[in-house]
Structure 1
Amino acid sequence: MTIKDYLLDHIPHTIFWIIGLLLLDISLWLIPNSPIPISYLLYVDVLLTVLYIIFLILVYFYRNRWYASLRNHLDLGQNALDIPLKGAQNHGQRFMQAHINQLLSYHHQQLDALISKEQDQQEFVESWVHDIKVPMAATKLLLDSGNLPIPPQAKQQLNQEWQQINHYVDQILYYSRLENFANDYLLREYHLRAIVVAVVKENMDYFFQKHIHLNVSDADAVVLTDEKWLTYILNQLLSNALKYTPDGGNIALTIRQDHGAVYLDIQDNGVGIPQEDLTRIFDKGFTGTNGRLANQHATGLGLYLAQRLSDKLGHHLSVTSKVGAGSTFTISFPALNYYNEQLGEKTLKVHNPQRFND
């Protein structure tokens, strides 16, 4: 607390002190038969005022240690929630300190309860996903066996619906694991084109159904990533491209390199994204104009998860789009190289380390 604030807080005390001095002077001056000279009264007033000022100064320095403790605790920011307040010097300060520490204790109890609840919920979701995957796997085997007495077109439709259900189940699982991402990923070097081709094969039925022209570049590059999480990201982006590209449209997947960094472009000639939606398409729950107008049952989670997972993997997901011309989603992989190989040490060097921060 500054001296100015301290003095402002003591304005009522100072006014009360001045009124008390005036009453004292009047009382002494009006004593009958023993008049006290005004000069003597002024001398007493000055003396008492000096003592009052000294008292205020001493109290300020005494209390300033407590104010400093509060200020230091406040400067800790969020970490202050984990550190009890100390430094109380009198009964009033100890009462305030106990109240604040009790609130911190309540906060920790509520936080522990919330974490426990979230862990239970995550365990339930993972258990549910595991249980639902069993009948889904059996259903897929039946569909692939060719023994079902159904027309080929109906079988193709069933396969597409199965893939859609499987996509939503994976979306639930990945969303539940998003905050515990560090426990379920492994960064390794992969050939990017192999992952791209595998994702395209998973979605090939949709290409056939909508007669989409596909172009996958022959270029390849080695990137540092997690295959499972990158596969989900690509599935989400390719699913969106298929969803909003009209029948007979074009989708191109291009791998390119620039200054050592690797880029994967997923380009379509679909409906495009309105300019006012571009800054919000990665927001959680945002479905946008296309999601609301098209009969696509958008959840607003797909692109949100794709960007969050990209950030956690150290990649960067961006988009450019024009209404009526299509969209291009680009995943950029930071440039990596090795040095000290002549010493027999193979050390990974990251040119853009800030992208690897969560």
Structure 2
Amino acid sequence: MTWTLDQERRMLRDSAQSFLTERAPVAHLRQLRDSADARGYSPELWTAFAAQGYSATLVPEDHGGLGLGLAEAGLIAEQIGHTLAPTPFLSTAVLAAWLLRRAGSAAQQAAWLARIAEADTVMALAVDERSRHRASAIETTAVRDGADWKIDGRKLLVVDGHVAQAFIVAARTAGGMALLLVPAGAPGLTVERTVLVDAHNAARLAFDGVRVDAQALVGGVDTGAALLAQVLDVGRAVVSAELLGIADEVFDRTVRYLKERRQFDRPIGEFQALQHRAAALFCDLELTRALVRQALQAIDQGASNAPLLVAQAKARAGLSADRAVQEGVQMHGGIGMTDELDIGLFMKRARVLQELFGDAAVQMDRAAALAGY
């Protein structure tokens, strides 16, 4: 693959960087957190996000989108990592858009894709049912009842679920796995908002005999398990890109501090021990960057080794982000432990993203299995 970004992708990256730096700096997240905002994100920012075309990245052109791929979505996610901007980008413009583009019926695509492109809706993928990611442990059921599906079960850590207008729910059936579109106001569905440690939001869902019609099925029951595995890898790859953005931003801030902070009449960045630690982290980030871009492009190309590359990228991105935020806290000294410094916010966001869709340990185990161990 080509490791150097072409002109179009550089323009997209630079545009997203400028927009988010101006419209959604870290102070934006602080304001939402400190005011206990009920939504946890700014609808005005989400609308402006769409005006730039970012929410339309994965939406096909015939539905008002840009028709681009995950390589481009990953560049936007990287910039979100730099500012910690809370938006429904991952849940709606990536996961829902990719699923509907890949397997949605003509009616589903007509009903939702244009709205996603225009940031006129929020959708959420509901998969996990335990405190830690384990897609094989899904116990929510979907049973055919006449022409309808009847859903019973529970879901945890549904990203943006508290504001979603529709959910794509993974449920076991007699014949396999179903992904079902469920409107937020469906009778029997209970939505409970949960505020995460990183000041972002998710939801717990309870399904008590929730009914949807046959047209709610995304894809088929026989292909549902494979489709779920694919969309989870899409999520892992884009989350890896956001983790890379977090690590890059913390590294840049830490290096600036090493150049500015003086001790014993010299910048602390002149001390060899700190130089070695910074150099090691820089090497980690370059390796992560290569793995993340490779994984994103592999999914776009439908490569047979895409799952392995995604597992490697998610593991490496999680470990690199963890190292970056820990080094950032330590090299900033005492102030690094305070809420006044933004480093702590990056640390909390990195921790949540590491757990989302499986942390480094889960991904390394998965990579070993995929490689034949």
| Greater C-alpha Rg | 1
TM-score under structure 2 length normalisation: 0.21
TM-score under structure 1 length normalisation: 0.22
- Structure showing greater relative contact order (alpha-carbon pairs closer than 8 Å, 6 or more residues apart): 2
